[in-house]
Amino acid sequence: MRILFCGDVVGRTGREVVTKNMPRLRRELSLDFVVVNGENAAHGFGITREICAEFYEAGCDVVTGGNHSWAKGEIIPYIGGDPRLLRPINYPPGTPGNGHGTYQLKDGRTILVINAMGRVFMDAIDDPFRTVDGLLRQHPLGSVTAILVDFHADATSEKVAMGQFCDGRASAVVGSHTHVPTADHRILPGGTGYQSDAGMCGDYDSVIGMKKEGVIARFVTMMPGERMQVAEGEATLCAIFVETDDATGFTKWIAPLRVGGKLAPVWPLPAMQPVPAA
């Protein structure tokens, strides 16, 4: 199964770089399934039903969330009725929506997508390790064709720990939240693909997606200043490509993908040349 995970989409230009490029990425990479983290898609904070519809129409199959999942209050009554929109699974019982979903491809293959959130430097929520462990015990590889974990966390140590914790039980564990792509993509000893952070889909002439002037002023003056504003220059699409073995569910190939914007382009399949910026 060929899976693409797009990192945190930040603002309008982040949405545009994803929706504009997704049809050809699905075609040129023969993608079977696409997951995009959308928790920053609405002006940098939260997501709306209209943005979900944009992603789905462009060819994204599932939208995951994180600590900004609830930034737009209108999403609260909506999320429970949209099985393709996830929020972190380790929110307390009774939280609207779902933290995981099993999805069937047209050819009958199935994929379990899990959205979990870390606790180091983050909100004090339930234990992600215990929660993910319980779900992987209920739905082992073999009962589904592939399992993808989006671990939305701040500390790289917590992300690496989650990857090792899931090794041999998930197809891939990919980190989100920090908006900077890491260079540690690899297949762990048990067969699980891993990368600490996919990066963001947004303007990198910024401070992690926000206009740089205001953020720099906060660091220099130590004063709160005005509300941070989303940078809206040309965006880079940052994603992770994973190809799994349908017989085992384990990763055969994992590689980054980068298209457009300020970062150097990277194409995930070595036999093909990088695509030009859109």
Using an 8 Å Cβ cutoff, are 173 and 164 in contact?
no
- Catalytic residue, from 43, 68, 139, 185: name it: 68
Burial (Cβ within 10 Å: 0-12, 13-18, ≥19) of residue 47: buried
Which residues, listed in sequence order, are joined to residue 174 by a DSSP beta bridge?
A: 150, 195
Tell me how far CA of residue 88 lies from CA of 56, 115, 120, in angstroms: 20, 5, 15
Torsion, Cα of 171, 176, 178, 181 (10° steps): 50
How many CA atoms does the CB half-sphere of 173 hold within 13 Å? Answer: 29
* pLDDT (0 to 100) of residue 42: 96
CA distance 61 to 56: 6
Tokens matching residue 145 = 């064709």
* pLDDT (0 to 100) of residue 271: 53
Burial (Cβ within 10 Å: 0-12, 13-18, ≥19) of residue 166: buried
Domains and CATH numbers, the chain: 2-205+232-259 (3.60.21.10)
Tell me how far CA of residue 119 lies from CA of 10, 70, 91, 141, in angstroms: 22, 17, 11, 26
Check if 68 is active-site: yes
Using an 8 Å Cβ cutoff, are 105 and 111 in contact?
yes
* pLDDT (0 to 100) of residue 273: 47
Q: What contacts 24+ positions apart, CB below 8 Å, involve 266-272? A: 268/29, 268/241, 269/29, 269/241, 272/28
Dihedral sign for Cα atoms in the order 209, 68, 122, 219: positive
Q: Closest by alpha carbon to 206, among 239, 175, 232?
A: 232
* pLDDT (0 to 100) of residue 228: 87
* pLDDT (0 to 100) of residue 223: 86
How many CA atoms does the CB half-sphere of 191 hold within 13 Å? Answer: 17
Read off φ and ψ for residue 255, nearest 5 degrees. Answer: -160, 150
DSSP string, 214-249: HHHHHHHH----SPP-B--S--BEEEEEEEE-TTT-
Q: In angstroms, what is the C-alpha Rg of the chain?
A: 17
pLDDT, mean of each 10-residue run, the chain (278 residues):
98 97 96 97 95 98 96 95 97 96 98 97 94 97 98 97 98 97 97 98 94 90 86 96 97 97 91 47
